[in-house]
Amino acid sequence: MYPTELPPLLASARRIVVKVGSALIVDSASGKIRESWLEMLAEDVARLRGRGQDVAVVSSGAVAIGRYALDLHQKTLSRADRQAAAAVGQMHLARMYKETFGRSRLTTAQLLLTLDDTTERQRLLSVRATLIKLLSLRAVPVVNENDAITGSTASFGDNDRLAARAARLIGSDALVLLSNVAGLYSADPNTSSTAILIKEIHDLTPEIERMATGARSGYSSGGMVTKLVAARMALASGCTVIIADGRDAHPLSAIDAGKACTWFHPSTAARIARKTWIAGTLKPAGVLVINNSAVTQLRLGRSLYVVGVISSHGDFARGDAVVIRDVHGLEVARGLSIYSSTELRCITWRFGIEARPPFSCRKLEQIVHKDDLTLSE
C-alpha cells in the first residue's frame, strides 16, 4: 500500500536553508545576542535533523554585535568601521552558535563567503563540496558574508541574497527567510489597516513585487524588497521559498504547525530545469533496485518510498544522485536520495520487522521526493 503524497509542508523538504536576520538574533537595545531565542532555533534545527532533513543556516548579526563591542553603536558606520565591527562580532556570533547548538547535540561549522566565492567556478565548486560534505557528516553549516574584508562593490548586498545563493549551491528544495513580519502583505501592515497576508504565491509577478516595501529602521540591511529578489533567485532553481515571522518561540516548528506565512512555489519550468540538472549533470553515486509497484508509482508522478525498494548498491551520502532500476536491471529514473547508503540499507532491512527503524526518519519513509526525481527515457 503506497501512501498519499505529502502536502507542501516544511516536513516534505529534503534539504533546508534557514536565513536568520540581525533583528532576530541581536537585541537592538543592548547589542547582545538573544540567547534564549537562539536556543529555541537550535532545538528546531535538531528536530529537523532528527527526522532526516539537512539544514544549513545563513546568519546575520556580526556587525550589529561588533559595533556595540567597539562602542560604535551611536554613529553611522563608515566602511572601515563596519569591517572592524564585523571582525569582532563574528567571533562572538560563532562562539554563541557553537555553544547553543552544542546543547542540542549539533555540530556547527562556520563558512565566511565573499561574492567571488559563489561566482568564480573553481571557488564555487570548492564551497559547494565543503557544504555538501559538512551536511553528509551531519554538521550544521553556519554561513555569513565575510564583511571584514568585503567591499561594497563586491558584496552580496544582504544575507537574503546570500541565502538564495547558498540554497542553489547545495541543491536545497526549501529556503526559509525568517523575518520580523509574518510574510508578504498586500500593503505595509505597519501603516495600513487593510493589509492582507498573501499566503500562497505561484507566480512572482510585477504586481506582487510592488507590494514589497524597503527596510525599516534597525539593523536589517534589506527588507521585503530584498526578500523577493532572493525568492526569485531561489525559485529559478526549483526551490520553494517561505517568508515567515521569526520572532515567536520555535519559529520553524510554528511553520510546521501551519502558522500563517507566505509560501512561494517554483514554476513548472523551474522544476523541469531542476530535473534536467539531476538527470544530466550529477554523477550517480549508487543504485536503487525497486519493485514493479514502485515503478508504476514513479511513472504516475509519485515519490519513491521504502516499501518499493528491494536493494541498494554503492556508497552514497544524503543528497547524492542515484540511479533507480527495475527488477530486470533497466533504468527507470534518477534522483537525489534522502538517506545515505548506510542508513538506507539499515532501514530497508529492518522495515516491517520492528515498530521503528534505528534512525529517526520521516513517518512515511520517503526515499526520493518526486521533485528530486526524473524519469529515464
Task: Give the position of cell 545515505.
Answer: 340
- The residue among 212, 246, 266 that closes a domain is 266
For 117-139, the pLDDT digits (tens) are 877 777 887 888 889 889 988 99
5 assigned to some structural domain? no
What is the model's pLDDT at position 88?
94
For 218-259, the pLDDT digits (tens) are 444 457 888 998 998 888 888 899 999 999 889 999 998 889
Beta 139-145 vs 174-179: how paired, if at all? unpaired
- The residue among 221, 247, 266 that closes a domain is 266
Name the strand (E) or helix (H) holding 321. strand 321-325
7 assigned to some structural domain? no
CA distance 47 to 127: 26
Mean pLDDT of the chain: 83
168 assigned to some structural domain? yes
Annotate 295-304 with b (16+ C-beta within 10 A) or e (fewer).
bebbeeebbb
Residue 217 shares a structural domain with residue 307 = no
Q: Given pLDDT bands bounded at 50, 70 and 90, which one contains residue 157?
A: low
What is the model's pLDDT at position 31?
85
Residue 177 shares a structural domain with residue 319 = no
Number of domains in the chain: 2
| pTM to 2 decimal places | 0.73
CA distance 240 to 238: 7
For 258-282, the pLDDT digits (tens) are 899 999 998 777 666 767 767 766 6
Which has the closest alpha carbon to 63: 92, 35, 98, 38?
A: 92
Mean pLDDT over 31-40 rounds to: 93
CA distance 32 to 15: 30
**Residue 192 is part of a domain; what is its CATH number?**
3.40.1160.10
In the three-class reduction of DSSP (H, G, I as helix; E, B as strand; rest coil), residue 57 is classed as strand
What is the model's pLDDT at position 362?
42
128 assigned to some structural domain? yes
CA distance 186 to 166: 28
- The residue among 266, 289, 308 that closes a domain is 266
Mean pLDDT over 18-35 rounds to: 90
Q: What is the DSSP string of 193-210?
A: TT--B--EESS--HHHHH
Residue 342 shares a structural domain with residue 257 = no
For 48-72, the pLDDT digits (tens) are 998 888 999 999 899 999 999 999 8
Segments forming the whole domain that contains residue 299: 275-375
What is the model's pLDDT at position 147?
85
Q: Given pLDDT bands bounded at 50, 70 and 90, which one contains residue 155?
A: low
- Examine the pLDDT at 186 and tell me if it is beyond 70: yes
Which has the closest alpha carbon to 128: 275, 261, 319?
A: 319
What is the model's pLDDT at position 192?
80
Residue 156 shares a structural domain with residue 175 = yes
For 320-363, the pLDDT digits (tens) are 889 999 999 999 999 888 788 888 877 766 554 333 444 444 44
Residue 239 shares a structural domain with residue 283 = no
What is the model's pLDDT at position 108?
97
For 69-89, the pLDDT digits (tens) are 999 877 788 889 989 999 999
For 91-112, the pLDDT digits (tens) are 999 999 999 999 999 999 999 9
13 CB-near residues (< 8 Å, 6+ apart) = 53, 172, 173, 174, 240
> CA distances (Å), 311 to each of 42, 51, 346, in order?
35, 22, 11
Residue 352 shares a structural domain with residue 260 = no
Q: Given pLDDT bands bounded at 50, 70 and 90, which one contains residue 364?
A: very low
